[in-house]
Amino acid sequence: MNPIVFDSWPLIAFFDNEPSADSVEKLITTALAKEREMKITVINLGEIWYSYARIYSDDVADQIIQNVQSMNIEIVSVDWELAKIAAGFKKSGGLSYADCFAAALTKESGAELITGDPEFKKLDDEVGIIWV
């Protein structure tokens, strides 16, 4: 079974209990039950951290990151190959640089990307996307 890659969008939706939170929770629960790999880049994890630190505090952001770490989601560091794939997506335009890293990890891993961010519609033909 292909891995799944998280953009920051679904995890923020999950922790903020937004309407798609239940869908995200089901995907995580199913992935854990089926031992399906879950991944996120350190760039996208940083995006989650600064989103919470900016709105709440560093301590709240740290707690959210600890929660992500406890969910059995592999945090993937960025090397040159991944950065080059991300830069290629950025060159094509229309995505934030952080989003390009989620797309790059998805492509490199032969994974499916979990997101609800409409910016990713541009990549429907390039990477598999699970919309939440």
Bridge partners (DSSP) of residue 35 are none
The pTM score is: 0.94
pLDDT reported for residue 94: 84
Give rounded-to-5 percent helix, strand, coil for the chain: 60, 15, 25
In the chain, the domains with their CATH numbers are 4-131 (3.40.50.1010)
Residues 6+ apart with CB under 8 A from 73: 6, 38, 39, 40
Residue 29 has pLDDT above 90, yes or no: yes
Lowest model confidence (mean pLDDT) among 82-91, 105-114, 118-127: 118-127
Q: Where are the alpha helices (DSSP H) in 56-121?
A: 58-69, 80-92, 97-109
Residue 87 has pLDDT above 90, yes or no: yes
pLDDT reported for residue 93: 83
Residue 34 has pLDDT above 90, yes or no: yes
pLDDT reported for residue 124: 85
Going by C-alpha positions, the residue among 16, 4, 27, 6 that lies closest to residue 117 is: 6
Give mean pLDDT, residues 44-70. Answer: 97
